[in-house]
Structure 1
């Protein structure tokens, strides 16, 4: 299960869903369109019927009838005691609450761009296990994070050109937790948060969940439109900006050093604080000397969040915030409302991995480069009409399908055993239907099968670029 959308959140997504008299059919069509657009992803738990009705100002009977229609068409499922949740027609994975399923021969999961743990993880775990007895005599609560891990994270930033002391680091349960904590501390309901367009969907959900408004600045084909961003900062006066300068998700573009310096100057002029997401910073596939971290150009205007999830392993669920010391203390106070710290064993494992991270990260980059190049070769052979920019780093391609069918394509791909996320999930207001994110973070031996299934799904749509003949029919 992805998560629960509150009554306020779904009311905002629905907006003006009827003109004149509200009907169950109109509500059914409006929710159905949100699902097809990817703005209500499969697995999202819907509000309780009475809560749903109160938020929309309609009768509970109307909501019940609309949900019946959605269930009849396969766009919702329900179970007594568990409520109702979003699904897609023919989607066996979300007939009952649960998470995204793993890839199998019958279903290849391209909804997540994630990697398995590297070989070095096991050795780090063994070393951490030997050290855990020394921690068992204490209380185990480390709201700031283990001192040793904070030192290692600080050293990691310093090596990259951003001098950092451990007092500037707060360990979190992943980068998403870090961003949610910053939002809770700095942004009030009704305030604005500037984001790139397209951008990573989970922070958009966090912004909506905080009652804030996302303000989108479109990306250019080769990077950031800083002129438009500057104008947007001045005109909308956002409280915060959420940016991914290192291998922007989903486009894979990296911001230049010159643009980073200019960005921070703009932030200073408008007194805007930026949250810079460095989740993918270690997956640099360019071979070039990387630009300095954005915070190196303006420590006072940049909060950096990082994660072990992409570089090492998502199952560790560890991330961090790097910020001025006074803000770290504010975050610490706010954290007590959400949780009391991160697991000790995982922190010991990450501290071991960061003791000498470069050999593991170098092998990781080589591995991912091979995955990227393999997927590009298969796409060029089997769906040559799809266009994309070769990403500078990260774990996915941002493909232009040539026609606005992304949400319908994702549904068709399910019939061919592929789970995809449509382009609209990466949009602030549900557009980007020409685009599809294709992760290449799968074993190379699966790539040919993945693209064969993509080509088979593409054959369902008139007007799409000709994918060429399939070598093997898809059953």
Structure 2
């Protein structure tokens, strides 16, 4: 039997990792804002997704009841939206196969999304800006006066030297690579500049590493939960992700061993220092166990230390040694770090630390991407890296105060919510009692808060009642945030999903 192209399109959408309803909700974004009845706003949002190519001809939409449950609206709202879209000839009903995007629709070749990914909403908010929402999509802080001082030094002292060559440094500005190498060496991890590749943020570092390590049908073992933007990098390289659960000491050892034995992965990806989103600091014992397993089964380790130094205790910098230190020569270990959390994400300075031959392969891909990161930004970073411990300590002190403030607000206003105080990082990983966080996220949007539900960070379904709440906002914003969350929670608890169904005159 010949399979029509339409059937391929159906599979593409139906096999989304989050399920059709939750996956579709993530495409719609802040669809409830603006005037008009909800059913018409939902119809407009679905039609926009078709125009932009996020939904394509033949994609099967969720049943009315399923989508209503995920969006926290009545079934009548979804029925009204689907009726509206049928009138516009955007969707069609097929006997035995449900509601689908009309075959007559024409959309762009690509909307730029990673299929099956979970970071689309986060990146779209960066593109659109927060608007009137309090967005919890980005857990990053503003830059400090140290950046200004470093920039002034560069402009007054270093510009002649910087302008003395063409400005292309695919491996990174030599003075910055030396500074990063000296930073690691001072912390007990002997490193030379040839083991460092400077990248445009940690995200690009993950991209070039994925290009080096991942071939077609490769497998990557990851923690569950994990940060969706990082997972989407591996998905974009067509890798299969094998999630392994975590406990209070990091990735679970027995489950990790089973995953390594069964899947023989090309890479093990972990965030040992203040894991995102849980804030867990992997214990020293667990680090040794992870390295031993990686050595036994010959699996390279990709260590993401984006939150290095960002602990919430008074001795936050006294964290266990990086996995790269524990691994020594036994395991091929690659480490990613950046200035994004401890200093400022706007510098877009990250780096890879690894074996010289791996760095060389990464540098070739970096050169193909952009010929090298901006030189002035790197010169500023070179003045900041020697102060990285001090800057991380100062940033952590502010984070500690705001974390305490957010916890107190939540205990007062939402006492049935539960969380484990993070060891570090910039967010609380909050458990909602008996509530799907995707549903709550829809109600929160109507109260002016954009939350990131746990389903985007763990497609196994293990954290569907969790959400991440950053404490990077100021005190007044945190207070307003908790007030809005409280109103959304009260609506859900007292009344359940509410909306305005379309009015249909009876004639």
CA apart distance, 1:374: 0.6
Provide TM-score, normalisation by structure 1: 0.81
For residue 294 of structure 2, the aligned residue among 250, 262, 267 is 267
Q: Partner of 1:128 in structure 2?
A: 154
Is 1:240 the counterpart of 2:267? The answer is: yes
- Once the two structures are superposed, what CA deviation does each residue of 1:355-403 show, in whole Å capped at 9, x if it has no partner? 3333322211111111111101111111010000000000000000012
CA distance in 2, matches of 1:67, 1:321: 50
* Alignment root-mean-square deviation, CA: 3.5
Aligned partner of 2:504 in structure 1 is none
| 1:458 shift after superposition | 0.8
Deviation at 1:98, TM superposition (A): 7.1
CA distance in 1, matches of 2:89, 2:21: 10
Structure 2 counterpart of 1:14 = 14
Can you list the C-alpha shifts for 1:300-349, whole angstroms capped at 9, x where unaligned? 42110001111111111110000000111111123233221100011011
Gaps of 5+ in 2: 1-7, 31-47, 61-84, 93-100, 114-120, 496-507
1:68 pairs, out of 90, 99, 106, with 90
Where does residue 34 of structure 1 map in the other structure?
23
| TM-score calculated relative to the size of structure 2 | 0.76
Change (3 A) 1:317 1:42: farther
**1:13-43 CA-partner distances (Å, limit 9, x unpaired):** 53299xxxxxxxxxxx97554133x4x5849
Q: In structure 2, do the counterparts of structure 1 residues 263 and 378 end up closer, same or farther at CA, with 3 Å as the change threshold?
A: same
| 1:189 aligned residue (209, 213, 216) | 216
Does the 8 Å CA contact 1:9/1:208 hold for their aligned counterparts?
no
Aligned mates of 1:55, 1:414 — CA distance in 2: 26
Cα distance 1:10–1:306, how it changes in 2: closer, same or farther (>3 A)? farther
With over 3 angstroms needed to count, the CA separation of the structure-2 counterparts of 1:302 and 1:47, relative to structure 1, is farther
Q: Distance in 2 between matches of 1:51 and 1:415?
A: 24
Asked if structure 2 preserves the Cα contact closer than 8 Å seen for 1:118 and 1:360, the reply is no
Q: 2:241 corresponds to which residue?
A: 214
Tell me, which stretches of 5 or more residues in structure 1 are unaligned?
A: 1-7, 18-28, 57-63, 87-93, 465-475
Aligned CA distance change for structure 1 residues 409 and 55 (closer, same or farther; 3 Å): closer
Q: Structure 1 pair 16/339, CA: closer, same or farther in 2 (3 Å)?
A: closer
**Are the equivalent residues in 2 in contact too, given 1:279–1:306 (CA < 8 A)?**
yes
| Greater helix share, structure number | 2
Paired residues of 2:221 and 2:268 also in contact (CA < 8 A): yes
Q: What's 1:22 paired with?
A: none
Q: Return closer, same or farther for 1:50/1:247 CA change in 2, 3 Å cut-off.
A: closer
Alignment of 1:63-462 (within 5 A): 68=90, 99-102=126-129, 106-130=132-156, 131-288=158-315, 289-299=318-328, 300-429=331-460, 432-462=463-493
Question: Partner of 2:197: helix, strand, or coil?
Answer: strand
Do the aligned partners of residues 415 and 51 (structure 1) sit closer, same or farther apart at CA in structure 2, a change above 3 Å counting?
closer
User: How big is the shift at 1:422?
Assistant: 1.1
CA distance in 1, matches of 2:267, 2:176: 28
Post-superposition Cα deviations, 1:187-226, rounded to whole Å, max 9, x if no partner, equal 1121100000000101111111101100000112553211
* Structure showing greater Rg: 2
User: Equivalent residue of 2:238, what SS?
Assistant: coil
